[in-house]
Amino acid sequence: MAKATDERPGFIATLKQLPLVFKFTAKRDKWFVPLVVAAVVIALGLTALVWLWVSWFAIPFGLMLMLLGVLIVMNLRANRAFMVEAEGQPGAAAGIVENMRGDFRVTPALASTTQMDFVHLVICRGGVVLLGEGNPSRVRGLMGQERRRLQKVIGSADLRDFMIGNEEGQVPLRKLRMTLVKLPRTLGPKDVAALDKRIKALTSRPQLPKGAIPKNMRPPKGTFRAMRGPR
């Protein structure tokens, strides 16, 4: 069970990622470069105004303002480009939640089918959340099975499910982050950790096959009598 944390890459690592993010976004968003240029032009205009009042402060102010403007545009447009790229990708919902800030504990593909239908499990301050991806009719069946299993161990914690998609009643991938953030916080940090342990014990328990035991797997006759010992 993966857990999203607040760990962030160091300053140097972040700087190394910026050219990659810039290139990625520029290829997929036709408005990205024009918006970056607009941010730089606005920063230069404000710098010129500052120069009229405090000339010595204008250059560092202008550089910082341009950098800030470019980073703001990059952050907004890169997030949009990543969401567009993730649309239709199997497991995209779990990947988005795993990279969210805060205590979001994710189990990707808690249940799945061979047709690439998935049900992901999320444990957070808002309770227990099931995220479905794939064919709605098949995913609803998977969700029903997992709801029945989870209700045995979650106690009074809230249990919600969301179907990812763009149809009516579904949650678009680009709105998933905000949907989870807006959930009412009904659990404390200790409650989330305790719930995580209970559910992990449930989901990691091996499932025994139903029906009669095959003959080739049955113990030899007299085994259980020998284990009981003489009467």
Q: Where are the domains of the chain?
A: 9-86, 92-203
DSSP 24-41: HHHHH-TTHHHHHHHHHH
Whole-angstrom Cα distance, residue 201 to residue 80?
A: 37
135 and 166 Cβ atoms separated by less than 8 Å: no
Confidence of residue 209 (pLDDT cuts 50, 70, 90): very low
The region of weakest confidence among 5-19, 28-42, 118-132, 185-199 is 5-19
Judged against a pLDDT cut of 80, whether residue 90 lies above it is answered with no
> 148: number of CA atoms within 13 Å, CB side?
5
9 contacts: CB under 8 Å, gap ≥ 6: 17
In degrees rounded to 5, what are phi and psi of residue 40?
Answer: -65, -40
The two counts, helices (H) then strands (E), for the chain are 8, 5
DSSP 46-76: HHHHHHHH-HHHHHHHHHHHHHHHHHHHHHH
pLDDT at site 117: 92
What is the model's pLDDT at position 182? 94
Identify residue 107 by its one-letter amino acid code. T
Instruction: Give Cα 76 distance to the centre of its chain.
Output: 18
C-beta separation of 133 from 120 below 8 A: yes
pLDDT for 115-127, tens place per residue? 889 999 999 999 9
DSSP category for residue 168: T
pLDDT of 149 strictly over 60: yes
Q: Are 180 and 124 in contact (CB under 8 A)?
A: yes
At 40 the pLDDT is 92
b (16+ CB within 10 A) / e for 198-211: bbbeebeeeeeeee
Share of the chain above pLDDT 70, in %: 81
Residue with structure tokens 């259980």? 224
pLDDT of residue 223: 41
The DSSP letter of residue 131 is E
**pLDDT bucket at 211, cuts 50 / 70 / 90:** very low
Q: Which pLDDT belongs to residue 181?
A: 93
Q: Is the pLDDT of residue 82 over 90?
A: no
User: Measured in whole angstroms, how far is the alpha carbon of residue 51 from the centre of its chain?
Assistant: 46
**Residue 225 pLDDT level (bands cut at 50, 70, 90):** very low
- pLDDT tops 60 at residue 5: no
